[in-house]
Amino acid sequence: MSKDSLANKMSRRTFLKVSAATAAAVAAGNQLLGGNGVGVLEANAAPAAEGGWYPGVCKMCMQGDCQQRVHVVDGVVVKVEGDPQGRQNFGALCPRGNASIMQMYNPWRVKKPLKRTNPQKGLDVDPGFVEISWDEALQTVADRLKPIRESDPRKLVCVSGFGVRSALLANFEQAFGTPNDVPSRGSACAYHIAGHITHQRGPDGVPDLDRCNYFIDVGHTLGPNIANASPGTRNVLDAIERGCKIIDIDPRCSQEASKYAEWVPIRPGSELAFFLAMLHTMLYEIDKLDIWYLKARTNGPYLIDPEGEFVKDGSGKPLMWDEEADRAAPFDTPDYMNCALEGTFEVDGVTCHPAFQLVKDQMKEYTPEWSEQHTTISAATVRRIANDFVEHAQIGATVDIDGFTFPLRPVGIVSERGPYQHTNCGPMQDFVTKIICQMVGAIEVPGGMSGCSMPHPDWLKPDEEGIRIANYEAGADYYGYPWSWPPNLADLRQFYPVSHTLVWALPKTILEPEKYHMDYRVEALMSCGGGPVRSGFDREAFEKAWAAVPFHFVFALTYDENAVLADIVLPDSSFLEKDTFHGGSSAPPGHKVMVDSSRGLNVFLFRDASKITKPYDSRNMDEVLVDLADKLDIMTGPDGMAAKANNSLRNAPLDTGKKFTLREWSEASLKQTYGADKRLDAITDASGPVYFYSTRGKENYNYYYQPDNQTRTPIYYINLLRVANKFKENLEAAGLDAVPGWEGDMDYFFEAFTPIPKWMTCPEFNPPAEYDLWAINWKTPMAPFFCGDTFGNVWLHETMKKFDPYEFSIWINTATAEKKGIKDGDKVCVESRYGKAEGYVKVTELIHPEVLGFPSGHGAASSMANPITAEGPYFNALCNIDEKNRAVDPLTAGVESGPAVKIYKV
Amino acid sequence: MRYGMVISLSRCIGCNSCSIACKHENGTGPGVFWRRVVITESGKYPQAAMHALPLLCNHCEDPSCAKVCPVKATQLDDNGMVTIDAKKCIGCRYCMTACPYNVRAYVKSNDKGYFDEGLTEYEKAVYGEHKVGTVEKCTFCAQRVEEGRDPACVATCPAKALFFGDLDDPASQVVKLLKDNPNAKTLKPEAGTKPKVFYI
Amino acid sequence: MTNSASNEAKRSTAGNLILPVAGLLAVIGIVCWVLQLILGPTVLADSIPWGVYIAAFFLLAGAGSGLVFTAAAGEWGLLPALKDKRRSLLIGAAASYIAAGFMILLDLGQPVQIYNFFVSPNFTSMFVWDFLFLLVTVVLVLVCFFRKEKSKWLLGLTAVTALGIVLIEGWILAVNSAGAWNSALIPVVFLVEAIVVAAAVLLVAKGDAFEPLKKILIGLLPLLLIFSLIEMFAGNYMGASEEAAGTKLLLTGSLAPFYWGWVVLGVALPFALLLWKGKSAAMVKVAGVLAVCGVLVAKINLLVAGQALPFEGEQIGYFPSIVEIGGLLGGLGLAVFLFVLGKKFFGDTPAAAGSAQTEAAPAKAEAEA
């Protein structure tokens, strides 16, 4: 991305510092209360800081951008609340944000730096920790890392997690020289690829909830189940009040889905069949498509040769077939509306078809009746939903925003974590949702689907073939992640070139580097946040691998599995007690939705935490990394950590000749993003955060930057074909028949690398007969994931235990329970081909009869954690990470999370 | 002036954020919740649905708790709030049994925290405000309302499902909401307590 | 009776043990109270505001009133056999009331603030009326006891205020909105239970001696069961969900062992024992003990059933804590201890010499009430 243009754009704008007076003006523009009309912002307006209130940003989850106010009395944090002026949360905090006090004041935290005395490592082995000083701890780490860096810096692998991930981690890694930054997150939510290729700069695909009238929500939450203080929750409720119809397609019904127009339960892993049939219905039965969009803005008219490649003219431009002129024409012809979407043509002796024709042909067999056997959703329902979707799309409608005329297509589909976490059919079904949206032109226009990142002129920018440049995980050059041989990275990204994250690869490359053709071994591990041992789908493999690494140091809030397996434990501060810098957002505040009020919103704040007394001897990880870099002699000089930090601080670089402070770095970041005249001193506790919008109104739609036929999105996914072809070449050049672990199964490996979606199944879809059910897992409002010490938080635990009978249980449908002789509250064992999980049953009507539901990520803890952490059934034990079982998706590297299971009483 | 609350059940997502916000706003100890959200389901698959019902003191117009209190510790104040005077309460808990909504809490201790190893700094700072052996409950966050702020639950609600205001003020949002929703319900109307917490 | 001599001997051995055992229990109760005062009410069982303390309070206050009724019935010639037991009965009534007061003290979270009863009494509260009636009745009992002139009118008046106690305590629950309590029958049930307890206590004290009391028990025990059935039928007939849930809790839910235990051991068994022709004096006493325990359990069941289902599908469990059980035993022990002690000093034959010591008991009673 081009950071400069974004920064310049911002600096041209006036800063908007919110006071009670301006808050009222903002409230007029917010849609919070729908028809009820009165702005919450106005009602709650209060000075940012008075008597012991300090600003902050909540870091209890991956979203991590809810504005918080912290009340401090005699050094003790006694209250937290959403900043009433914060326009992503309007004073709201989710249950986790509210429970953050118990994260900070928690005697189960690591209270002092620790050194292991027992050389034997294991989850059930007492590490024999002894307390040491910070100085000794950092010196020990530096002494161990120095020789490693001298021999091969790649031998250090840094594993990071949400919530506590340090802002400076990347700079430290760069200065150290290791490319091995492996996020522990993502194996269970690798759902970005189709969007990243098609239209969005993600990470998420989001509906335009200000205008959308019909939305299909698949295995996903629009807000209430994750980071629910951010705008999604309020805006989805506003949209429903406004009359937006939302259809929930999911094996289980949630609070959120209960407010939707309809819950349509589906068999896990069959979502692809549903969407193929929906697309079939649109193409063969309804036949009401946005022809203009398809011709002007997709690669639908591009002629495809028998090899699957574009037919091109001499200058390399892909060709379309101009039916008026009866000849091929380059994609950028002004007569694009004359170009054929259907037919068979011949160009220079090559028989070819428009991509649209090929897609349509492929869909022919996928009738609603065909899909019914796979999905358990009736053919009539498929037809009804397809019809409603097309009707609501209002093909041909336009809307004027700030004097600019946009197409208006108020429909959308988001298919996310639930359906995605299946090998091959997972990502494939999302490609179909993208095609469906394009058939009615609902991409990056008002009412339709967008990426959740701030809008930008680059996001839809076309390449020389006229098609929008894929980004992020999809790779910009059609080849995905650059190939290197022997593999450069310990997480095997070379073998999964368009993947999301691959922490599951680490145990394999640590334990068997030769098998994966590595020419070095992992000798040191640095963990900060995340919990791959518990969340990585193979507890034993991670335990073994972590124990096998010669030196492991962790930044730990509590005694999690990482800490128990470490050599040196560095107590990390709770975010409540840290100096807090927050500048802009990695993604805009609306992570799950786009609405005008939060789409282009930026915020900057700095909290000096000196007035907050730390309850334990912990330190801010950012500061510790600076100290560590200093001890390793990688702080100064042209390749030092300061210089690396300067790569993103070009407008206000740090002095590369000395160690920098967090305050200096924050100041530089402020100047870089918000203008060189800005001073950190001016952003005091009393002044509160600074807000401004980088885009508003028409600028919030990426269509605005490339209107009409100025760019195209793919309905024919040539990227996947090209990535696969290039990858096959690379494998061959390296003398490999197969990706390690996939020997003899490479046809399946490449099955989803197809330009046109087709029916395919995941390894759990046709299991041996004894596994007659499927287990699924989802995020819950109080416990969406591990980060922030969710499961060890006594307030969250108590609230879930007391008030949510659905939380610590295994859901089973009433009819299924009766058939199996299982009663509410019975203790059961659920067993997959890979593992077992025990728990207590909740008999409910809220789940598909073929499915067992496991809410949240309960049920695993280290031996030194608060025992409450271990309560509840442990879903991940039912999954695995073995390539031989097709357990990881070749495209996204997501882990198959819909295991076929059986259930019995114990 | 009569303070009251309107709760939009069509907006409540059952996340219990209000329950936890209440905990730190009022510094309540282990096991004590001045408000909670009851989670239930209804209907048969696939026409089933999940429901959430936030429960708190209804600050009733005709509070049964005040009626049964032998020492006038619980009273209906002029501003419509039902309050408890800890200096009068003898801890007989008659009010707890009389409350149809089970939203009162008995202070059993103020020196027992969540952790075996004693009170944390936070717990030391806040638990002392609670008088052992007396009954407590939701105060509509009187300390916040005095400053012109909404109760903590209202302010923190991620769904903006809670609304607080003066039921006597025709310009207040709660009055408008009740006007727009003539079918607003109160809990257990048969108890005759005339709650000032309305559900729409 | 050939073995009456040995019975007499046994009785006196047992009698000798009663005072120390009851005294020990009373001491345990006081220790529990002190524990509560030091540790705070943390030691009380969670969640159910009213538990065994209140059940025991109702039981003891009922017993006191029942004993006043029997004394009055003797005086008025309704139960001639009791005519000469007037003093014992009044001692028993006073002991029961005092012990009832002790149970309330145990129950209060802030006993120090009890002066608010006088400073700011709330006359819409049944508790205030209960307190007043208890106070007046205890005073009347003591007046009846110490007045030289026996007045059947005064005792009659005492019986009326004693009746007031029972009815008001029934109303404490009956005016409440909790499903299982909201019934006009409860004061009647409390009245019957008061008489049952008094009759049963007298049977335990005197064995076979009072034939009419057996008849009263035989008549009233089934009535309690019938009341219970009426409540359940009325509650469920219209499908009122709260009552239905409460009934389910009693019949098949977590309270089922206690409900069915009461039916079998607290009603059916004593009823059968009393009806049985071959019964011994000991069996009559067993029947009496069972009936008293039955009433206590019935009161606990009633209390818990009314509180265990707070709201829409929520359910709260209850089991008394060790300290609560200690306090309960203490209260019952205190009643027995005071009675035995009282009888020793002021038995049925008035001891003129004892007048010096008489001051202590009533003073204490008043203070504690």
- What's the pLDDT tens digit per position in A277-286? 999 999 999 9
Q: For A575, which DSSP code?
A: G
Among all residues of chain B, which has the CA nearest to that of C305? B97
Q: Where are the beta strands (DSSP E) in A83-195?
A: 114-115, 130-131, 156-160, 181-183
Check residue C348 and give its pLDDT.
57
Nearest to A498 by CA among A95, A893, A55: A893
In whole angstroms, give the CA distance from residue A891 to residue A757: 13
Q: What would the mean pLDDT of A827-843 be, rounded to a whole number? A: 98
Give residue-wise pLDDT tens across range A584-625.
Answer: 555 566 788 888 888 888 888 888 888 999 999 999 999 999
pLDDT band for position A226 (cuts 50, 70, 90) = confident
Q: Is B10 on the interface with C (CB under 8 A)?
A: no
Mean pLDDT of all residues in C151-165: 94
- Interchain pair C177, B109: CB under 8 A: no
Chain B hits for A782, Cβ within 8 Å: 15-16
Q: Which regions of chain B are under pLDDT 50?
A: none
The minimal CB distance from B133 to the residues C40, C116, C125 is found for C40
Question: Nearest by CB to C109, which of B70, B88, B134?
Answer: B134
Q: Which residues contact B44 (CB under 8 A, 6 or more apart)?
A: A845
Task: For an interface test with B, give the residue of C46, C50, C125 to mutate (most B CBs within 10 A).
Answer: C125
Chain A's closest residue to B180, CA to CA, is A36
Q: Count CB-CB contacts under 10 A for residue C275.
A: 11
CA distance A516 to A103: 40
Residues in chain C whose Cβ is within 8 Å of chain B: 39-42, 44, 46, 49-50, 104, 107-111, 113-114, 116-117, 119-122, 124-128, 131, 172, 175-178, 306-307, 310-314
Instruction: Tell me the average pLDDT across A441-460.
Output: 94
Percent of chain C with pLDDT over 70: 85
pLDDT of res. B191: 87
DSSP class of residue A462? B
Distance of residue A95 Cα from the nearest chain B Cα, in angstroms: 4
Is B51 in the C-facing interface, judged by CB distances under 8 Å? no
Q: What pLDDT was estimated at residue A871?
A: 96
Work out the widest C-alpha separation in chain A, in whole angstroms. 84
- Whether residue B88 and residue C176 make contact (CB cut-off 8 A), yes or no, is no
Tokens of A356: 């649209």
Query: What does chain A come to in residues?
Result: 906
The verdict on a CB contact (< 8 Å) between A798 and B157 is no
Burial C290-310 (b: 16+ CB within 10 A, else e): bbbbbbbbbbbbbbbbbbbbb
> For C87, what's the count of Cα atoms within 13 Å in the CB-facing half-sphere?
17
Contacts of A757 (CB under 8 A, 6+ apart): A272, A276, A362, A428, A429, A431, A432, A435, A717
| Of A37-41, A765-769, B65-69, C244-248, minimum mean pLDDT range | A37-41
pLDDT at A13: 33
Rounded to 10 degrees, the C-alpha dihedral A377/A380/A383/A387 comes to -120
- Six token digits for residue C226: 């019938």
Task: Quote the minimal CA–CA distance from A76 to chain B in Å.
Answer: 6
Nearest to B20 among A89, A259, A795 (CB): A795
A147 Cβ neighbours under 8 A, 6+ residues apart = none
At a CB cut-off of 8 Å and minimum separation 6, what does C45 contact? C51, C318, C319, C320, C321, C324
Residues of C whose CB is below 8 A from B111: 40
Which chain A residues are closer than 8 Å to B52 by Cβ? Answer: 255
Q: What is the pLDDT of residue C362?
A: 38
B155 contacts A81? CB cut-off 8 A: yes
- Each residue's pLDDT tens digit, A91-121: 999 999 999 999 999 999 999 999 999 999 9
Considering only residues A24 and A148, tell me which one the structure prediction assigns the higher pLDDT.
A148
How far is residue A889's CA from residue A425's CA, in Å, rounded to a whole number? Answer: 9
Q: Residues in chain C, how many?
A: 369
B72: left (phi over 0), alpha (psi -120 to 50) or beta: left
pTM listed for this prediction: 0.92
Q: Nearest residue of B to residue C179 by CA position?
A: B100
pLDDT digits (tens, 9 = 90+) for A484-521: 999 999 999 999 999 999 999 999 999 999 999 999 99
A849 contacts on B by Cβ (under 8 Å): 45
Contact B88 C310 (CB under 8 A): no
Residue from the list B53, B68, B98 with its beta carbon closest to the beta carbon of C312:
B53
- Partners of residue A802 in chain B, C-beta under 8 Å: 33, 36
Residue matched to tokens 């019809």:
A387
Angstrom distance (rounded) from CA A230 to CA A97: 11
Given a contact cutoff of 8 angstroms between Cβ atoms, the answer to whether A179 and A489 are in contact is: yes
Closest partner CB to C177 (pick from B100, B108, B109) = B100
Helices (H), A490-602: 505-511, 532-535, 539-548, 561-564, 596-599
Q: How much of chain A exceeds pLDDT 90, in percent?
A: 78
Q: Which residues of C25-37 are buried (b: 16+ CB within 10 A; e: fewer)?
A: bbebbbebbeebe
Confidence of residue C268 (pLDDT cuts 50, 70, 90): very high
Contacts of B40 in chain C (CB under 8 A): 312-313
What is the mean predicted confidence (pLDDT) over A198-212? Answer: 89
Distance, CA of A483 to CA of A726 (rounded, Å): 9
pLDDT band at C9 (very low <50, low <70, confident <90, very high): low
3-state secondary structure of A605: strand
Rounded CA-CA distance A459/A481 in Å is: 19
CA dihedral A881, A882, A887, A890 (to 10 degrees): 100
Q: For residue B63, give how far its alpha carbon lies from the nearest alpha carbon of chain A (Å).
A: 25
Say which residue, C294 or A6, is predicted with more confidence. Answer: C294
Q: How many residues does chain B have?
A: 200
A527 and A552 in contact (C-beta within 8 Å)?
Answer: yes
DSSP output for C134-169:
HHHHHHHHHHHHH-SS--HHHHHHHHHHHHHHHHHH
Euclidean distance between CA atoms A738 and A728, whole angstroms: 9
Contact B90 C172 (CB under 8 A): no
The pLDDT of residue C282:
85
B contact test, residue of C58, C119, C122 with most B CBs within 10 A? C122
Give the C-alpha separation, C192 to A458, whole Å. 87
> B192 to chain A nearest CA, in Å?
27
Which residues of chain A have a CB within 8 Å of the CB of B115? Answer: 106-108, 794
Which CATH number, 3.40.630.30, 3.40.50.150, 3.90.1150.30, 1.20.1630.10, labels domain C31-37+47-346?
Answer: 1.20.1630.10
The reported pLDDT for the residue numbered C361 is 40
Distance CA A468, CA A474 (A): 12
3-class SS of residue A84:
coil
Contact C339, C95 (CB under 8 A): yes
- Kindly give the pairing relationship between strand A551-556 and strand A568-571: parallel
- What's the confidence (pLDDT) of residue A3? 35
Domain extents in chain C: 31-37+47-346
Neighboring chains of B (3 or more beta-carbon pairs < 8 A): A, C
Best C36, C104, C105, C113 member to test B by mutation, with max B CBs in 10 Å, is: C113
Give ipTM to 2 decimals: 0.98
- A198, A714 in Cβ contact below 8 A? yes
DSSP 8-state symbol, A283: I
Q: Mind telling me how many Å the CA of B154 is from chain C's nearest CA?
A: 22
Q: Using CB atoms, which residue from C107, C119, C177 is nearest to B64?
A: C177
Q: Which chains touch A (3 or more CB pairs under 8 A)?
A: B
For A695-748, how does the pLDDT look when each residue is reduced to its tens digit (9 = 90+)?
889 999 999 999 999 999 999 999 999 999 999 999 999 999 999 999 999 999
CB–CB of A98 and B21 under 8 A? yes
Identify which of A78, A22, A19, A76 has the alpha carbon closest to the alpha carbon of residue A48.
Answer: A19
- Give A549's contacts (C-beta < 8 A, 6+ positions apart): A510, A522, A523, A524, A525
Exposure class string for A811-839: b at 16+ Cβ within 10 A, else e: bbbbebbeebebeeebebbbbbbbbebeb
Mean pLDDT, to the nearest integer, of A146-175?
90
Whether B106 sits inside 8 A of C41 (CB atoms) is yes
Beta strands in B60-169 (DSSP E): 74-76, 82-84, 104-106, 135-137, 162-166
Return the pLDDT at A831: 98
B87–chain C Cβ distance below 8 A for any pair: yes
d(CA C368, CA C347): 23
Instruction: Give the Å distances, CA to CA, from C266 to A399, B82, C249.
Output: 79, 42, 19
pLDDT of C352 higher than 70: no
C-alpha distance from residue A577 to each of A128, A617, A689 (Å):
28, 11, 18
